[in-house]
Amino acid sequence: MKHLFGPVPSRRLGFSLGIDVIPAKTCTLDCVYCQLGPTPELTLERKPYVSAGTIIAEVTELLQNNPRIDFLTFSGSGEPTLNYDLGKMICGLKKITSIPIAVITNGSLLYQKEARQDLMKADVVLPSLDAVSGEIFQAVNRPHPDLNAERMIEGLRKFSLEYPGKIWLEVMLVKGINDSKAELGKIRAIIKSLRVNKIQLNTVVRPPAEEGFFPLTQLELEAAAEIIGLDCEIIAEFTGGKTTGILQGNEELILETLKRRPLTLKDIAAITGLNLDETVKIISLLLVKKKVREKRTGNRKYYSV
């Protein structure tokens, strides 16, 4: 099951089974806060990186264990809409399960009609909008040279009018880069022109691969939420309880998950169903074997591959 990871505890989606349809790391952007490291090659070209048949077979096999999963979520090693079989995958999964399907996308390809159409059958789409001013978009998202803020916003606008499902828009704030009052005011104005069901403020909680980028404090996030208004919410801590333990004792699946998402000990305990002591033992062993590394952000320690 090379393309599945988790279920990971997601602050927005509960227990989310990650479906990764893009080779690491292929993206349209090179965000300063990315947990996966720099984008070696920026691209806007959609390709059949992984086939719909492969993904449907992997999910079918995994569901036989009947794990607790709240969402099947396309995300992982890059931008999922770069896979041009995405629409077929979503339709195929709908035939084998009633678990809702989410797509976490940076939204940058929504200016392309085919990318918008591929998302039509998803239950929830979670696009991002971190900046609307050209220079701030460049500073935070470092896009492919043929992308700019206007093109991205236009795609998002068209999508929000055509798509019948739920749109949860994320704004990721990085201290000193896209959190000025002026930029937050402009983001508010653009969001007002879109049809979105939720606006979710996030900050660099998980350790970015590059040094020198910092999260906003809780108070700063609250002040930003005041400026954006529109009932935007600050994404809360994960409080979804424990999974049925699909990852328990499965070192390979734990490593596949940590490859795509740095997690705290508490997160790992939640997805494995192990208690904290057992989790500490497993992670200590993986640290000794140099299979995982530890990184501190604020007062939290994260483990990644």
Can you give 171-197 as a three-state secondary structure string?
EEECCCCCCCHHHHHHHHHHHHCCCCC
Identified binder of ligand SF4 from the candidate list 8, 21, 36, 110, rule CB under 6 A: 36
Interaction mask 48-87, ligand SF4, x per CB under 6 A: ------------------------------xx--------
Nearer residue to ligand SF4 within complex by CB, 56 or 124 = 124
For residue 31, state whether it binds ligand SF4 (rule: CB under 6 A). Answer: yes
Give the C-alpha separation, 88 to 85, whole Å. Answer: 5
User: Coil, strand or helix: which one is 126?
Assistant: strand
Question: Which tokens hold the place of 58?
Answer: 């992997």
Nearer residue to ligand SF4 within complex by CB, 36 or 110 = 36
**Window contacting ligand SF4 (CB under 6 A); options: 23-31, 62-70, 90-98, 199-207:** 23-31
Nearer residue to ligand SF4 within complex by CB, 133 or 244 = 133
Continuous segment of H or E residues that includes residue 16? strand 14-19
Nearer residue to ligand SF4 within complex by CB, 39 or 203 = 39
**Minimum CB distance to ligand SF4, residue 282 (Å):** 27
Q: Is the CB of residue 200 less than 8 Å from the CB of residue 12? A: yes
Binders of ligand SF4 in range 85-144 (CB under 6 A): 106
Instruction: Calculate helix-pair angle for 149-162, 134-141, nearest 10 degrees.
Output: 90
Identified binder of ligand SF4 from the candidate list 34, 93, 258, 271, rule CB under 6 A: 34
Question: Which tokens hold the place of 39?
Answer: 């984008």
For residue 39, state whether it binds ligand SF4 (rule: CB under 6 A). Answer: yes
Nearer residue to ligand SF4 within complex by CB, 202 or 279 = 202
**Minimum CB distance to ligand SF4, residue 27 (Å):** 3
From residue 127, how far is each of 44, 67, 191, 240 by CA, in Å?
Answer: 16, 27, 12, 22
Q: With contacts defined by CB under 6 A, how many residues of the chain interact with ligand SF4?
A: 10
**Window contacting ligand SF4 (CB under 6 A); options: 22-30, 112-120, 239-247, 261-269:** 22-30
Nearer residue to ligand SF4 within complex by CB, 211 or 231 = 211
For residue 191, state whether it binds ligand SF4 (rule: CB under 6 A). Answer: no
Continuous segment of H or E residues that includes residue 277? helix 276-288
Residue 208 burial (CB count, 10 A): 21
For residue 29, state whether it binds ligand SF4 (rule: CB under 6 A). Answer: yes
Give the C-alpha separation, 129 to 304, whole Å. Answer: 26
Which runs of consecutive H residues, i.e. helices, occur in 64-148?
86-96, 113-118, 134-141
- Applying CB under 6 A, the residues found at the interface with ligand SF4 are 27, 29-31, 34, 36, 39, 78-79, 106
